């Protein structure tokens, strides 16, 4: 149990992007997850319910120290925007898409809350 908690903590990196000033409500949030696509693994997600958040972008950026090293780690970066009020669960899975009957190597769950007064809040479960 301890190892799984440490593993989840290791992969839960959340960066909230604020508006132009501190008084503005958060409208976007970014999730960064460590990974290495040269192994065939990639991060994918499902969201339930749909319609509360929308994906603005997702990209992979290799670590600076590993740019010259084949097979080095980097970050998968997913950016979401608030579409409507409510709560949504985002389940991220680190897997090889072609391995249909194989469980994900890693999973991370986020809960997003969109409120008219406070804006978008994203937490790792």
Domain range summary for the chain, segments of one domain joined by +: 2-124
Residue percentage of the chain with pLDDT more than 90: 63
Cβ neighbour number for residue 119 with a 10 Å cutoff: 18
The answer on pLDDT for 56 being more than 50 is yes
The pLDDT of residue 99: 94
Q: If 0-12 CB within 10 Å is exposed, 13-18 middle and 19+ buried, where does residue 84 land?
A: exposed
68-124 per-position pLDDT tens digit: 666 778 999 999 999 999 999 999 999 999 998 999 999 999 999 999 888 999 999
pTM of the model: 0.77
Would you state the structure tokens that stand for residue 61, as one six-digit string?
Answer: 């950026």
Q: Which CATH number fits domain 2-124: 2.60.40.2020, 3.10.20.740, 2.60.120.260, 3.30.540.10?
A: 2.60.40.2020
Segment 38-62 shows an average pLDDT of 94
Q: Which H or E run includes 125?
A: none
């Amino acid at each position: 149990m301890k190892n799984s908690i440490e593993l989840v903590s290791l992969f839960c990196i959340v960066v909230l992007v604020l508006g132009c000033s501190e008084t503005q409500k958060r409208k976007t949030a970014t999730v960064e997850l460590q990974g290495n696509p040269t192994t065939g693994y990639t991060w994918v997600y499902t969201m339930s319910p749909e319609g509360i958040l929308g994906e603005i972008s997702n990209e992979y950026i290799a670590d600076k120290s590993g740019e010259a090293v084949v097979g080095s780690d980097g970050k998968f970066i997913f950016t979401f925007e608030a579409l409507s009020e409510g709560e949504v669960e985002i389940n991220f899975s680190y897997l090889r898409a072609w391995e249909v009957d194989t469980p994900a190597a890693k999973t991370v769950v986020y809960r997003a809350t969109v409120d008219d007064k406070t804006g978008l809040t994203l937490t790792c479960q």
